[in-house]
Chains A and B, each alone.
Chain A
């Protein structure tokens, strides 16, 4: 597709359930990023991949958060044993690769934990 595609757009889960969020980057984009955006705030960095290598996971808030990109294209962000504070919009972005390239965002997944 032309842009970054994320699914599902909305996800409601009960506290304690595991969730998986998918991101399909722009074709040819080497770099892929996950961000978390709380209401009224700017996106906050979670993790970064270059191809299949996870180069930075410093923003993952706890060991319940796990991300992978096994073939260097589609990425999945998994959250285990969800908590209410995990409720947020999860944004995926991709870029051509290399430093300083602009990042292009998908529509995000709005996660609500009940």
Chain B
């Protein structure tokens, strides 16, 4: 059974701080890794994709991947109250298209 693990939170950070969200996965042959943001009652929204070891930056977001440790993380710089949402980590299973999701980490950014 392929698994993706995330801390459920809530992760509470003050406005302007860096939020760090972590995810581990069990499938060693996974090739693609995604972070989705999901506001309450809304659908998942893709915010980052990463395919190779290292860091990938896009605006205030940085995704980090370490395949040896089977670990992927998302950093959100200068956190805003509008970043408050559940962040879902998703990993493709067996290198194919099927995505396995974690249960999500709830982030709360307080003014």
Contacts and interface: CB of A to CB of B under 8 A. Distances in A.
B31 A42 contact: no
B32 interface: yes
Interface residues of A, number: 25
B103 A42 contact: yes
Contacts of B32: 99-100
Interface residues of B, number: 26
B101 interface: yes
Contact of B97 (A33, A35, A59): A33
Contacts of B18: none
Interface in B78-110: 88, 90, 92-93, 95-104
B17 interface: no
A86 B51 CA distance: 34
Interface stretch (A12-20, A67-75, A103-111): A103-111
Interface of A is mostly: loop
A31 interface: yes
A62 interface: no
Q: Which of A45, A59, A101, A103 has the most CB of B within 10 A?
A: A103
B69 interface: no
Contacts of B97: 31, 33, 48, 56, 95, 99-101, 103
A40 interface: yes
A31 B96 CA distance: 12
A91 B46 contact: no
A59 B96 CA distance: 14
Interface string A77-114: 00000000000000100010001111111111000000
A107 B92 CA distance: 21
19 contacts: A31-B97, A42-B101, A43-B88, A43-B99, A45-B93, A45-B98, A56-B96, A58-B98, A91-B43, A91-B44, A99-B31, A99-B92, A100-B31, A102-B49, A103-B46, A105-B45, A105-B46, A106-B43, A108-B43
Interface of B: 4, 31-32, 34, 36, 42-46, 49, 51, 88, 90, 92-93, 95-104
